[in-house]
Amino acid sequence: MSYTVIIPARFASSRLPGKPLLDIAGKPMIQHVWERASESDADRVVIATEDQRVFDACQSFGADVVMTLASHESGTDRLQEVVAKLGLIDEDIVVNVQGDEPLIPREAIAQVANNLALNPQAGISTLGERITEKSTVFNPNAVKAVCDRAGFALYFSRAPMPWCRDEWAVQSDVDTLPVLAPFMRHVGIYAYRVGFLHQFVSWPMGVLERAEKLEQLRAMENGVRIHIEKACVDIPGGVDTEVDLQAVRAILAGNSE
């Protein structure tokens, strides 16, 4: 199966400025992400950035890197610019690996690409994992997903869902989750068909996307189907905060010893 990995690496970050170049175990973060992606069976791994410093750093360790506009409002917009520059055709598959995920497993990258190839009705595929703690269900930073029996997404939300009316109406303070409800956390790795990306950038922000601040809802509001598969491996979280950064530094420092 043929696919391309694109890694958006935006220098400007409100919480961690210069995030792609932050040092982790003697390498910039973006190099760790690139190395992980390069371990997958992708035909090509490309880094996309709007910053010359990131561009130069990526070239220094041998990465294929593309300079993009700084004006993009989303990572998906940046991806579309890259696929256009690369001359990819509508049927080609690209996997979006975030530039702040230095622990991303190669198995997850291959899985999400293969999932899209096996589901021609979908314009997007992504992964999910089971939620086992009630605190995660009620955490707005953990995006929840529900899907139909065939694995196609019905909705994504930061709110708790599904809402277990009977159990939580009488026992809202209980820490355990109802055993019958299919609680799923969305894992933010995507595979796209290139034709979808060209459509996406022509659509205005949707009402649901604006409310939830979730780009995938723009696709759903425009009738694009998203297939979700349970992740075949545990997928560690990315680096959003200083606490995340120190945790990843500790893990990778240990691996290098």
Instruction: Spell out the domain ranges in the chain.
Output: 1-102, 105-188+195-235
Distance CA(86)–CA(78), nearest Å, equals 13
Q: State both tokens at 122.
A: 């979908």
Question: Which CATH number, 3.40.50.300, 3.30.750.24, 3.30.420.40, 3.90.550.10, labels domain 1-102?
Answer: 3.90.550.10
Crossing angle for the helix pair 29-38 and 52-60, to the nearest 10 degrees = 50
Helix (H, G, I), strand (E, B) or coil at 224: coil
Provide the pairing of β-strand 44-49 with 4-8. Answer: parallel
pLDDT of residue 173: 62
**pTM of structure:** 0.90
105-188+195-235 domain in CATH 3.90.550.10? yes
Each residue's pLDDT, cut to its tens digit, for the chain (257 residues) gives 799 999 999 887 777 889 999 999 999 999 999 999 999 999 999 999 999 999 999 999 999 999 998 888 777 888 999 999 999 999 999 999 999 999 999 999 999 999 999 999 999 999 999 998 888 898 898 899 999 999 999 999 999 999 888 777 665 666 778 777 789 999 989 999 999 999 999 999 999 999 999 999 999 999 999 999 999 999 888 888 889 899 999 998 876 55
Q: Rounded distance, CA 229 to CA 117, Å?
A: 13
Same fold? 1-102, 105-188+195-235:
yes
Q: Give the per-residue pLDDT at 116.
A: 97
In 3D space, the residue among 92, 114, 108 whose CA is nearest the CA of residue 44 turns out to be 92
State how far the Cα of 68 lies from the Cα of 63, in Å rounded to an integer.
15
Give the whole-angstrom CA distance, residue 230 versus residue 227.
10
Measured over all CA atoms, what is the biggest interatomic distance in the chain, rounded to whole angstroms? 60
By percentage, how much of the chain surpasses pLDDT 70? Answer: 96
| Beta carbons within 8 Å of 109's beta carbon, 6+ residues apart | 5, 36, 37, 40, 42, 95, 97, 189
Locate tokens 């598959």: which residue? Answer: 93
Radius of gyration of the chain (CA): 18
The answer to whether 65 touches 46, Cβ cutoff 8 Å, is: yes
Measured between alpha carbons, how far is 113 from 194 in angstroms, rounded to an integer?
12
Confidence (pLDDT) at 48: 94
pLDDT tens digit sequence for 65-122: 999 988 887 778 889 999 999 999 999 999 999 999 999 999 999 999 999 999 999 9
